[in-house]
Amino acid sequence: MLVLAAMSCGSRPAPADTTGPGAAIPPDRSSARALPAPAPVGEPRIVALGDSLTAGLGLPREMAFPAQLERKLAQRGHPIAVANAGVSGDTSADGLRRANWALEGNVKLLILALGANDGLRGLPPAQMKKNLQGIIHRAHQRGVPVLLAGMEAPPNYGEQYAAAFRQVFQDLARENKVTLEPFLLQGVAGVVDLNQGDGIHPTSEGAARIADLLLPTVEKMIEPTRAK
C-alpha cells in the first residue's frame, strides 16, 4: 500500500542497522533525552505512544498530530490533554521499554502508533506483534483502553512480508478486543502536499489529517469515561 512506497529509497531493502524512520532521515535521538514529563497523577490525559510520525519530526511540537488532536477535541467539548510520547527512530521494542513510563498517571486512552520503523528495517512481524502485545497488556493491566493505529510495510520487502506485517495489527485488534484504525497515514501517505521534502513525514496539514482521522474514534472512546 501507500506507506511506505514513499518511505522506500530504491529497490533494495534498507540495511538492518537503519536507525531512522526513513533511510533519508537520521533519527532525532535528542528527543529520547527530553521526553515530556508525565501529567500530574490526577490529571486525565490521552497518551500517543509512537515514533517520529507521532513526535512530529520537522514540525513545531504544537503542530504534531497529538497537539492538533487535543485542540480538535477541545473544540468539540472534550478538554483533555493529549500527551505526545513519540520518539523519532523508535521501533515497537523501544516503545515496549517506554510503556510503563508512558502509562503513568491518569491515562484515559492509549493511542498506540508504532511499527513504521519495524517495517522500514524489515524486522520480523512476529517480533513486532510480541512487542505491541506487551504494550497492550500493560495498558489493559491499568484499565486503559487502546486505540491501535496500523501501519503498512515498504513494498521493497515483497507482498508476503507486507501481508504478514498488516495482519499483525488485525490479529492484535481481534485477539485483544481493541479498536483498530487500519492505517495511521490514510489520506496522507504519498500525497506530496501533505508531506515534507523527505516524502516521509507529514507537514502540519498532513498531521491535521491524521488528527481528523483519529478524532471520531477517540471521541467515542473517551465519552464513557467522561460520563463517569
Average pLDDT over residues 180-205: 97
Model pLDDT, residue 16: 34
Average pLDDT over residues 80-88: 98
Handedness of CA 58, 150, 8, 187 (dihedral sign): negative
**196/93 Cα distance (integer angstroms):** 27
pLDDT value, residue 223: 83
What pTM does this model have? 0.84
Give the confidence band of 23 by pLDDT, cuts at 50, 70, 90.
very low
Contacts of 205 (CB under 8 A, 6+ apart): 193, 194
User: Rounded to 5 degrees, what angle do the CA atoms 138, 139, 145 make?
Assistant: 155
pLDDT beyond 60 at 32 = no
Does the pLDDT at position 179 exceed 70? yes
Q: Is 52 a catalytic residue?
A: yes
Per the residue annotation, which of 171, 198, 204, 212 is the catalytic one?
198
42-227 to CATH, choices 3.40.50.1110, 3.40.50.1100, 3.20.20.80, 3.40.50.2000: 3.40.50.1110
- Point out the catalytic residue in the list 88, 92, 118, 201: 201
What pLDDT is recorded for position 226?
A: 54
- 195 pLDDT tier (thresholds 50, 70, 90): very high
Distances (CA, A) of 153 to 14, 45, 46, 98, 163: 12, 30, 27, 23, 8
Q: Is 207 helix (H, G, I), strand (E, B) or coil?
A: helix
The arithmetic mean of pLDDT across residues 4-22, rounded, is 35
Q: Mark whether 17 is an active-site residue.
A: no
Give bridge partners of residue 113 from the DSSP assignment. Answer: 50
At residue 6, does pLDDT exceed 50? no
Region 62-90: mean pLDDT is: 97
Work out the number of other CB atoms within 10 angstroms of the CB of residue 62: 13
pLDDT reading at 167 higher than 60: yes
The 10s digit of each residue's pLDDT in 108-162 is: 999 999 999 999 999 999 999 999 999 999 999 999 999 999 999 999 999 999 9
Would you kindly state where each structural domain of the chain is located, as residue ranges?
A: 42-227
23 compared with 172, residue with greater pLDDT: 172
Non-local (6+) Cβ contacts of 104 within 8 A are 38, 41
| Whether residue 198 lies in the annotated active site | yes
Active-site residue, from 8, 31, 51, 52:
52
8 Å CB contact between 31 and 49: no
Where residue 36 falls among pLDDT bands split at 50, 70, 90? low
